[in-house]
Amino acid sequence: MAKAKTGLFYIRATIDVDTSETPQQEDLSVYVDPVNRQGLLIRQVDFIWHDKATFLPMQPSADWEAVIQIHDTTLGALVAFENPHQVASASLVSVNASATEANQDFFPDRLGMGKGEGRIVVNDSLEIVTDGSASVPANLAVTMILECQVVTLSQKDYISLALQSVADN
């Protein structure tokens, strides 16, 4: 059972989305500590898609799609949705046919509803992978917001999570 070491806090990062599959790392080393069996409990993840120049929603001027995935280990690319290392994902679809419309994931990914519930990460970084179709706007960005808490795990739980991360990678 994990014990809370901090109150809730937020980690935010804005990532550019372009036409190539782009992985990047979010450093968690200040939150994760193997010596003290500290992990990062992620309670929910929210994604805000926007124009990086104006911070307004993107205007659908063509048909395009974009995706983001967060992994708890380095996988180097987008992965299937059943992959155990996928923490959260979202996508945005813009259709500029006869009617202008955009579909997106409006609600945060809740990884736990009760106190102390969520996804515990013991790796010192998260991998964030984005990709967009050929006509994705050049100024598209997505801001990822993680609601987190630092927790202390029992030695058995910490080793179990660490071994699972290494074995599956």
Predicted pLDDT at 95:
77
In order of 17, 138, 144, the CA distances from 141 in angstroms are 5, 9, 10
Predicted pLDDT at 60:
72
Q: How far apart are the first and last CA of the chain?
A: 25
Give pLDDT tens digits for 85-144: 999 998 888 877 645 455 566 566 777 767 778 899 999 999 999 999 998 998 999 999
| DSSP classification of residue 139 | T
Q: Greater confidence, 102 or 3?
A: 3
State the Cα–Cα distance between residues 128 and 89, nearest whole angstrom: 9
Q: Average the pLDDT over 72-96 and give the result.
A: 89
pLDDT range class, residue 168, cuts 50, 70, 90? low
The structure's pTM equals 0.87
Give pLDDT tens digits for 21-45: 989 999 999 999 988 999 999 999 9
Q: Average the pLDDT over 6-35 and give the result.
A: 94
